[in-house]
Structure 1
Amino acid sequence: MVAGSAIYAVNVNAFTAPNNIAAGGVTGVATMLNYVFGTPIGLAAFLINVPLVLWAVMEIGYKLVAKTMGAIVISSLLIDLFSRFIPAYRGDSILVALFAGVCEGVGLSLIFIRGATTGGTDLVARLLGRRLPHLSMGKLMLAIDGLVVAASAFVYGSVENAMYACIVIFVSTKLIDAILYGMDAGTGKLFFVMSPCVRKMGDRIIEELDRTVTYLDSHGGYTKEPGETMLCAVRRFEVYQLQNIIREEDKNAFVIVGEAGQITGEGFRPMHSDDKPVKELLRELRSKAGGSGQ
């Protein structure tokens, strides 16, 4: 979390703020406030995040927002601390936008992997993601950040700066999706967990990860005793959190983790009605091959 916050703070002080680029989110709003009123960016971001955190506490509970509160404090402090010695880069604007997008994407991904956000757009995207599971976090952030970028065009009086901000957001959101979800949002990991504590694990997974689980009746070949096996599919960035839950509930749990090449359904890639069966696709390929040989 600290490493992600540090990379994010470097991005703000080296690339976005010095070049009047408000790349969405609370930090983008704070950057505009710094431009207009001279308010420290970290302090402004912290104050704006306070009501958002309160909303999140009421929506999903204090326990699940605790890490986000820590990330907000750390990132806000580092942004203002780094402003004293991080040199600003005011070179080629395209390079600024590209490097800013990479730094922001990597920094936020490291924070997301730890189960936290930096507040603002990230927090709102996570809250909306609970109600719109078919949309990835990157896409939700892209939509919310667009409003901030539009406002920045008026504050800075420059459409070009807003366009560079769009590049930053595009690069960062694509990178976030690639790091968190892999190249395919429909892939992930499949967990088989055998333990007398699977019910407790399942309750925590549903509450903390907003994922569902399936309980299967099983029978131990060695112990000759009946039991339950929990089946759960998660995205790659959720593996760390799931492993922590399993470890905290039962250190001796027997766990099998496998690759899930394709996961369709709520929370993953939707099952499209126009997806064709494999046999039909093979039939089409054969007919095309036959047609080309005539």
Structure 2
Amino acid sequence: MKKSPVFTAFLLVLGCMCCSIATNWIMIPNGLAAPGITGISMTVEHFTGINYALIYYAITILILVVTYLTLGKRDASNIIILSLLYPMVLWVLSFIDVQIIFEEKLIALGAFGVLYGVGIGIPYRIGFSYGGDDTVAKILKKTILRATEFKKIYYFEEALILLFMTLAFSLDQLAYAFAGQLIYVNSMNYVVFNLGPKLYDVQMIGKDMEKIEDFVINTIHKSVTIYHDAVGGYSGEPKIQMSCVCNSREYVRLREFIRNGSFDCFIKVIPLVHVFGQNKDFHRLDDENIE
């Protein structure tokens, strides 16, 4: 079942709030800096005096237009909402005078990195993107750096941004910015790939498997792959092998159904790291992971 539009909107606003609070209330009051589009915007603000959130707005709109022209309507549609929503939230919160100041900069850095990474990961997990430097890396890969690995383009891009930021920030601030990026990227990847439901490959081998097949498809609403040519190595008898990917709650229901029905079958359960597909619990194959 797909998430309702109201819940999706809530998650998008929550992600924007996390990133904005991390930036306005933790990063800036503690004298830290961030790479990426935020770092570019704050560097430009240093020389122009224009609020960095407005500069961020202009840059993301430019990225949105270029994305539409180079990557197409689908990629542009994934970033258009956050390209408009996040800079607005960032700008509004910049006028709310809240300062979360830590005695130790490393603690401030950790708090910023975790909160910022969560804020990026929440929308990314449900198929949306902020249209930041990761999108620029996608554009570069499709247009002029096709033979280069995506993550290499991304890290090179970040190195150029840090070099540009030397015009406005000290080397200490840039070092903290680099460390903060490592924290928030890992935090983001945890939200995207580990925080969701644990998935299992459930493999079942037996003879009369029609009821189990019906339960998987029509009750827990998962697809199932069926192999009719399996042979029991011990008995030499023909068997039917079925395999399905389900989350932990669905696996428990399937196990209880098999137990209560006294089905004579062999079951093997394998925990999975990543699964790509169309189901709501799976990731999309075209997602670019930067871990």
Q: Is the 8 A contact 2:125 2:191 kept in 1?
A: no
Please point out which of 33, 40, 44 is paired with 1:29.
Answer: 40
Please point out which of 133, 152, 166 is paired with 1:153.
Answer: 166
Q: Distance in 2 between matches of 1:119 and 1:69?
A: 8
Note the 1:49-128 alignment, pairs <5 A: 49-91=60-102, 92-127=104-139
Count of paired positions: 211
**Tell me, what secondary structure is at the counterpart of 1:154?**
coil
Identity %: 17
Q: Distance in 1 between matches of 2:274 and 2:13?
A: 21
Please point out which of 19, 23, 33 is paired with 1:8.
Answer: 19
Which whole-Å deviations, capped at 9, do the CAs of 1:248-287 have from their partners, x for residues lacking one?
xxxxxxxxx89xxxxxxxx89xxxxxxxxxxxxxxxxxxx
Given the superposition, is the C-alpha separation of residues 167 and 86 from structure 1 closer, same or farther in structure 2, using an over 3 Å criterion? farther
Q: Is the 8 A contact 1:23 1:145 kept in 2?
A: no
Greater helix content: 1
Where does residue 165 of structure 1 map in the other structure? 177
**Tell me, what secondary structure is at the counterpart of 2:99?**
coil
How many angstroms does 1:128 deviate by? 6.0
Where does residue 44 of structure 1 map in the other structure? 55
**Tell me, what secondary structure is at the counterpart of 2:40?**
helix
Q: TM-score, normalised by structure 1?
A: 0.58
How many angstroms does 1:77 deviate by? 0.4
The code of the aligned residue for 1:151 comes to F
How many angstroms does 1:111 deviate by? 1.8
The code of the aligned residue for 1:121 comes to D
Where does residue 263 of structure 1 map in the other structure? none
RMSD over equivalenced CA pairs, Å: 4.1
Note the 1:136-285 alignment, pairs <5 A: 141-156=154-169, 158-182=170-194, 236=274, 242-243=278-279
Which whole-Å deviations, capped at 9, do the CAs of 1:31-78 have from their partners, x for residues lacking one?
222233221222111101222212211233223322311111111000
Q: Distance in 1 between matches of 2:131 and 2:90?
A: 14
How many angstroms does 1:133 deviate by? 9.7
**Tell me, what secondary structure is at the counterpart of 2:127?**
coil
Q: Which sections of structure 2, spanning at least 5 residues, go unmatched? A: 1-11, 203-212, 214-224, 229-243, 246-271, 283-287
Given the superposition, is the C-alpha separation of residues 181 and 99 from structure 1 closer, same or farther in structure 2, using an over 3 Å criterion? same
Q: Distance in 1 between matches of 2:276 and 2:53?
A: 28
How many angstroms does 1:160 deviate by? 0.5
Q: Is the 8 A contact 1:22 1:29 kept in 2?
A: no
